[in-house]
Structure 1
Amino acid sequence: MVQDTLQTVAAPRGATADLRDTSSEPGRAAPSYRTLLVVADAADDASGRLRLAVSLADRFRAELIGVAASQVEWPVFVSEYPQAVDQILRQEEERAAEDLSSARTLFEREAGERKGAAWFQAVAAPLSFVHKHGCEADLLVCGRRGPTDPNPGAMGVGPGDLVMAVGRPVLVVSPGIDQLGGKRIVIGWKDTREARRALADALPFLARAEEVTIALVGRDASRHDGELPQAFLRRHDISADIVVDNRVEDFIAARLVEIAVEGAADLLIVGAYGHSRAREWAFGGVTRDLLDGSQICTLLSR
């Protein structure tokens, strides 16, 4: 019988306490991101997301790439009305050009005159275009796209699609958020390939955090499962506590966010789609629930 327990395990004694920046230590530099890519679109929350990306680029001294693409919706061809089809296409092309111009103006306003900023746009499928330029970046920043979130129109890129395609960590920014302090971070842990990838991909954030918590949630969660990622982080001079909650079987994503909010964390790190994506969308899962409604920023890797 599994007991209902909530355990907190402190980091081992002797672990480094203040790890916000180790770059001044001889022979050791804090891990960093050299290039950030932010997805721009027509959603109402785009300006906050761009502002957040600019602040992260400043923190990591990284180059910043802004990317936007707009899809032209081709009408169903009706042979009897070719002029109507041509008119619809022209309208769609004009709409796409206006969307891209607005996105570029917004990016340039938020990025200012900073060096190392670049902009790419195209009339193309947004996911394919972002995927292409994602190869240039260490970290991608995009907006959350839950059922009630602002509509990005024909420029939208679903974060789930992006995580599956791009081969880079993706920071998903919730609507209404324009800053990410990263002083307190929660790692949602289950020992999967995806979670291990996320842990390594998030090292630049983790190395600058003041408090890191490894959270294990679910009936089969145990403190022992958190000790290996804790040891991994310790070898990177990062101190982490372990929290175990065996009381939750369902709604694991909500509990992870709750643990983060209770600890005043503003960043959650998880591996994406530990189960098959089709299974997650059919029956529910942590990744889908976070993409639909996490109220804090979430870094996902696969």
Structure 2
Amino acid sequence: MSYASILVAVDDGQHAPARVSLAAELAHRLGARLVGVAACMPDYPRGFGETAVPMGMVIEEIRQAVLDRLAGVEQVFRDASCQNERTEWRSDLASPVPFLEGQSRAADLVVVGRYADDEGVTTGMAVEVGDALMGVGRPVLVVPAGVEHVEAQRIVVGWKNTPQTRRAVSDALPLLRRAEAVQVFRVSDGEDRAEVEDVTRYLALHDVNATAQLVKPSGWTVADDVRKAAVDFDADLIVTGAYGYSRLREWFFGGVTRDLLAKAPICCLLSH
């Protein structure tokens, strides 16, 4: 398995160039195609009648303004990926998350950003991480605001024996195989040693240099323990499953996923 096509969500936020640069560098390293994707839904006014003609003029102005904004975002993508030989650009006047979900059919990996509080993304263009995780059906690389590189030479796998984590480990194999060291990390009372070692043996069959690390609960959250493990291991990538469910079209996540999405200082590769 390899990543032959990497898709990156692009917008007009202040950290979009860094995210595209990271995705472009990763695509170049893996010999993959890079696809930039952006969409924005125009905020058309509602109403008909006596103002139909002037309203039509306003609608066209709004439409053109959004097209101009998307053209600007495309330029951000072009500038940040100029060293890549194989790139594609896809955009539309549409809701950004459904558009991203549709375009993910052409990708092995989807790269999205975790926005800063002052990101400044235009209303109608933002891609929320939770929506992407639940909808694209691909592994998602979540890039914190301001992170420009992911070497993925030292990787921590936050292990829990669930379908999501098993899928994440499989999805991450192209990166795990290239890493110089991988740590399979599990927070447990000590009864899961054989389970974690079984995972490292499985990874060894895929030419992954992995070791097992089992620690007792620290009293902090599991997400805090995983983040500390990443710091101690000098990792710049965390691989784990994403746990969540939908209620009335809103995504809700379990504590570990929610905390990692909110606070992890390094990139996270998650599968749902």
TM-score > 0.5, shorter chain as reference: yes
Aligned residue for 1:150? 119
Q: CA deviation at 1:129?
A: 1.2
Correspondences of 1:282-301 after superposition (within 5 Å): 284-301=254-271
Output one character per residue of 1:90-119: Cα deviation in whole Å (capped at 9) or x when no partner.
443233112201111111112226332111
Aligned residue for 2:170? 200
Contact in 2 for aligned 1:281/1:288 (Cα 8 Å) = no
SS of alignment partner, residue 270 of structure 1: strand
Q: Does 1:131 align with 2:101?
A: yes
Q: Does 1:32 align with 2:32?
A: no
Contact in 2 for aligned 1:221/1:244 (Cα 8 Å) = no
Partner Cα distance (1:167, 1:155) in 2: 20
Partner Cα distance (2:130, 2:253) in 1: 16
Q: 1:249 to 1:195 in 2, by over 3 A?
A: farther
Higher mean C-alpha deviation, range 40-49 or range 69-78: 69-78
Q: Which amino acid in the other structure matches residue 150 of structure 1?
A: E
Aligned residue for 1:244? 214
Q: Which amino acid in the other structure matches residue 234 of structure 2?
A: A
SS of alignment partner, residue 155 of structure 1: coil
Q: 1:194 to 1:282 in 2, by over 3 A?
A: closer
Partner Cα distance (1:42, 1:106) in 2: 8
Q: Tell which has more relative contact order, 1 or 2 (C-alpha 8 A, sep 6+).
A: 1
SS of alignment partner, residue 97 of structure 1: helix
Partner Cα distance (2:53, 2:147) in 1: 45
Contact in 1 for aligned 2:130/2:251 (Cα 8 Å) = no
What TM-score comes out, normalization by structure 1 length?
A: 0.81
Contact in 1 for aligned 2:190/2:214 (Cα 8 Å) = no
Partner Cα distance (1:282, 1:66) in 2: 27
Higher mean C-alpha deviation, range 77-86 or range 158-167: 77-86
Q: CA deviation at 1:83?
A: 6.5
Q: Which amino acid in the other structure matches residue 192 of structure 1?
A: T
Pick aligned residue for 1:110 from 80, 100, 119: 80
Q: Does 1:72 align with 2:42?
A: yes
Partner Cα distance (1:85, 1:245) in 2: 64
Q: 1:283 to 1:237 in 2, by over 3 A?
A: closer
Percent of counterpart pairs with the same letter?
36
Correspondences of 1:51-66 after superposition (within 5 Å): 51-66=21-36
Pick aligned residue for 2:233 from 255, 263, 276: 263
Aligned residue for 1:96? 66
Q: Which amino acid in the other structure matches residue 245 of structure 1?
A: V
Output one character per residue of 1:96-147: Cα deviation in whole Å (capped at 9) or x when no partner.
112201111111112226332111111111111111111111111110146x
Q: Does 1:163 align with 2:133?
A: yes
RMSD of the alignment, in Å? 2.4
Q: 1:221 to 1:55 in 2, by over 3 A?
A: farther
Contact in 2 for aligned 1:33/1:138 (Cα 8 Å) = yes
Q: CA deviation at 1:251?
A: 2.1
Q: 1:66 to 1:283 in 2, by over 3 A?
A: closer
Partner Cα distance (1:250, 1:79) in 2: 61
Q: 1:113 to 1:213 in 2, by over 3 A?
A: closer
Q: CA deviation at 1:177?
A: 0.8
Structure 2 gap ranges (5+)? none
What TM-score comes out, normalization by structure 2 length?
A: 0.90
Aligned residue for 1:276? 245
Contact in 2 for aligned 1:218/1:249 (Cα 8 Å) = no
SS of alignment partner, residue 276 of structure 1: strand
Q: Which amino acid in the other structure matches residue 63 of structure 2?
A: E
Contact in 2 for aligned 1:104/1:119 (Cα 8 Å) = yes
Q: Does 1:187 align with 2:157?
A: yes
Report how many residues are paired. 269
Output one character per residue of 1:162-214: Cα deviation in whole Å (capped at 9) or x when no partner.
11111111101111111111110000010000000000000011001011001
Contact in 1 for aligned 2:187/2:215 (Cα 8 Å) = yes
Q: CA deviation at 1:229?
A: 1.5
